[in-house]
Amino acid sequence: MIKIDLYDEKTGDTLHFEKTHVEFGMFKKIAKFNKEMSLQEAKSNLLKQKFDQNILTTAEEAEYLEVMSGSEIEDIERMETLIVELFNNPKVTTKTLESGLDLSKGIETLQKILNDAMGGIKADADHPAKK
């Protein structure tokens, strides 16, 4: 099960959204997203190590600048899009995510939803009735 609370500035209310069933097909999309994030982090760490040791090639220097210049915004946008798709609710949009989540917990909330979705898929697959 996944859930999210989004503050609605127009009404001053906090709206609660839940989805008890996460489609198995979402597993592939979440797993792909997680793989891309892990690969990006590993690449960043490797380039950082080479930079610290002053052994970057010219091509790696350009790649290092690209990686370090911040793809964080794009990563957040991809995460938001995935969350919107997970909920499949017309009231859960990228706009409502951006305006309804608190700045201090926004990323943490989105990551928890993805983790819960993956756990839900695994828990459903491990259910005794499925064995």
pLDDT digits (tens, 9 = 90+) for 66-116: 877 767 888 899 999 999 999 999 999 999 999 999 999 999 999 999 999
**What type of residue is 68?**
M
| pLDDT of 120 | 57
Terminal Cα-to-Cα distance of the chain (whole angstroms): 21
- pTM score of the predicted model: 0.76
pLDDT(124) > 80: no
Domain range for 61 is 2-130
- Count Cα atoms within 13 angstroms, Cβ side, for 127: 8
| pLDDT of 80 | 97
| pLDDT of 116 | 93
Q: Which pLDDT band, with edges at 50, 70 and 90, does 123 fall under?
A: very low
Q: Are residues 6 and 17 in contact, defined by beta-carbon separation less than 8 angstroms?
A: yes
CA gap 48, 68 in Å, rounded:
9
> Structural domain tally of the chain?
1
